[in-house]
């Protein structure tokens, strides 16, 4: 279901992040995210094959937007100390509802269900993808990826 699909997406994105952190220009970051979105959709489409019952409808624009939003959220959570502290005392910078509305309200046609986006939000809040990819605030705070996300 949506949970597994979101999990698969997060794994794919995690594999890309170490490379994204080394890119020097925001334009290249953007190109890499667009390429990732398009490759991801093609990969999922070929994996789901002809099992029409299983077919997940995805579009590259939606995946691109979700990738961007997930990484922005991840960065916000790192900056507010979410992953370091007792989370109960911390309020989320972006609630699950706001996160879903942000992606769905972007003006771009997004074939991603609210439950898929909610699961993505939950996964990012649970685990810092950027930090797992080697992100360190002191080292990377001016890198192209961060500039692209903060832009």
Torsion from C-alpha of 103, 109, 111, 113, nearest 10 degrees? 40
- For residue 81, count other CB atoms closer than 10 A to its CB: 10
Q: What is the pLDDT of residues 91-141, one digit of tens each?
A: 788 999 999 999 998 888 788 899 999 999 999 999 999 999 999 988 998
d(CA 121, CA 76): 12
Q: What is the pLDDT of residues 20-30, one digit of tens each?
A: 999 999 999 99
User: 125 near 78, Cβ under 8 Å?
Assistant: no
Global pTM value: 0.89
User: 58 near 41, Cβ under 8 Å?
Assistant: yes
């Amino acid at each position: 279901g949506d949970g597994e699909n979101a999990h698969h997406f997060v794994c794919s994105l995690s594999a890309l992040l170490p490379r994204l952190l080394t890119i020097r220009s925001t334009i290249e970051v953007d190109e890499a995210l667009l390429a990732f979105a398009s490759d991801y959709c093609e990969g999922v489409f070929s994996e789901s094959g002809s099992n029409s019952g299983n077919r997940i409808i995805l579009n590259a624009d939606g995946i691109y937007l979700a990738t961007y939003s997930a990484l922005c959220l991840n960065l916000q959570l790192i900056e507010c100390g979410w992953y370091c502290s007792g989370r109960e005392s911390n309020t989320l910078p972006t609630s699950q509802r706001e996160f879903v509305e942000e992606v769905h309200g972007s003006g771009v046609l997004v074939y991603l269900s609210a439950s898929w986006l909610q699961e993505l939000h939950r996964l990012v809040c649970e685990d810092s993808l950027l930090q797992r990819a080697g992100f360190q605030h002191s080292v990377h705070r001016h890198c192209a990826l961060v500039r692209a996300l903060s832009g």
